[in-house]
Amino acid sequence: MKSFEVPIIYRSPLISAIKRKRKEADKMKKDFTPTLLDFGPLQIYLARHFGFCYGVENAIEIAFRTVEENPDKRIFLLSEMIHNPQVNADLLAHGILFLQDTNGKQLIPFSTITPDDIVLIPAFGTTLEIEEQLRSIGIKTEIYNTTCPFVEKVWNRSEAISKKNFTIIIHGKPVHEETRATFSHAVSHGPSVVVKDIMEAKELAKYITGEKPAADFYVEFKNQYSAGFDPTRDLQRIGVVNQTTMLASDTQAISDYLKEVMIQTFTPSSSEERFADTRDTLCYATNDNQTAVSGMLKINADLAIVAGGYNSSNTSHLAELCEEKLPTYFINNEENILSRSEISHYNFHTKKELLTADYLPAGEPLKILITSGASCPDALVEGIIRKLAGFYEQAVRPEELIKQFGE
């Protein structure tokens, strides 16, 4: 797989050594057991896969290269490049300006943009409507488009099954940039509707079976369906695609459920006639990171720490998996670890930051699980590890572990 030139400030000597050694020992990526960092009184278990994915590294490389190659031009980002506050702050510090926030609210009017300006499309992609608006100004969107290739794969698959007269069911958060972009591409080819979870999928199924009147659909799924959508007509042949940062297991559960509903409702039709196979649209990095968390959770640990941006969908899902098994602290970086006795962390259910005391249990060795989202730099993970190890006077120094994994 292609490697990218990511700024050194995002790299970590410790994490790089660990990832390199694990890759050499497991080239086929079949071993999802975590990596033990034994500091003596502290034992940290690092997920097998975590941190920057292909799409994120690609986007970051393009963004910083664009700044370097165009010192005399105004450079805009359509919205946040990725959902990580440190990376976005760095881009702002390099003079890049954001045109919209993550919800699509305009921060800088498109009317102020000129053909001489550069507009970067973020890794999530954007809608066809916005692309056309930018092109009408004279912006060459294709040159500075950092859309993740795995997001584009979902778009291409949506187009392919739409041409076979399947309606697209998108599993995603309706307001998320990627879902808005995927929805825009899907509706350009045929009927589409967004479901945010299995509960909404089950309600949608009631329009397939006729259990609910079609008129209720327009209220229940307001702002989540394409123009002219007719639940009586458009739910007879369907296929499920996803926002690539959602839990893969949730997308699969929705897909399996709706497939069974179609088989039962339209008997004796074959499943292939009523339900399109879209399993190949699940993102490899999302799958790997989530499976690695499952492998990590087999350790009998005291707590878990998940690092990443608070508005990062894929990171919140990693925290969701961890909190099912043990106390979990979702943090931005090491600065959230205020002391040995206090930690500031994010509750993604309530969308509020909390302050928790006595988060580190007594007793040694203390066992902590650590992972991070796809937009979190490895340097931040190393910072967290160093902060925790620093609480123990007798702990092995991180430099010793770098030597160990570098051998």
Active site residues: 178
As a whole number of angstroms, the distance between CA 230 and CA 200 comes to 17
As a whole number of angstroms, the distance between CA 310 and CA 292 comes to 20
AA identity, residue 252: Q
Determine the straight-line distance between the first and last CA of the chain, rounded to whole angstroms. 24
* 194, containing H or E segment: strand 192-195
User: How many residues in total does the chain contain?
Assistant: 407
The SS3 of residue 168 is: strand
C-alpha separations of 341 from 328, 357, 384 in Å:
15, 5, 15
As a whole number of angstroms, the distance between CA 2 and CA 188 comes to 32
C-alpha separations of 142 from 58, 120, 135 in Å:
15, 9, 10
Are 246 and 171 within 8 A, CB to CB?
Answer: yes
Residues facing 303 on adjacent strands: 368
- Where would I find the H helices in 41-190? 54-69, 85-93, 128-137, 149-162, 177-187
CA 302 to chain centre: 26
AA identity, residue 37: L
